[in-house]
Amino acid sequence: MIELAENGLFLGPFQHARDNNVSASFTPGDHFLLYTDGIIEATTPVSTNIQEDDLTVVAVHT
Please, are residues 29 and 35 in contact by the beta-carbon 8 Å criterion? no
Separation of first and last alpha carbons in the chain: 13
What per-residue confidence (pLDDT) applies to 2? 78
What per-residue confidence (pLDDT) applies to 41? 77
Please give the chain's pLDDT, 62 residues, in tens: 777 776 666 666 777 777 777 788 999 988 888 777 777 777 778 778 777 777 778 778 77
Cα–Cα distances (Å) from 23 to 16, 33, 49, in that order, read 23, 14, 30
What per-residue confidence (pLDDT) applies to 6? 66
C-alpha–C-alpha distance, residues 56 and 40, integer Å: 11
What per-residue confidence (pLDDT) applies to 28? 95
What per-residue confidence (pLDDT) applies to 33? 80
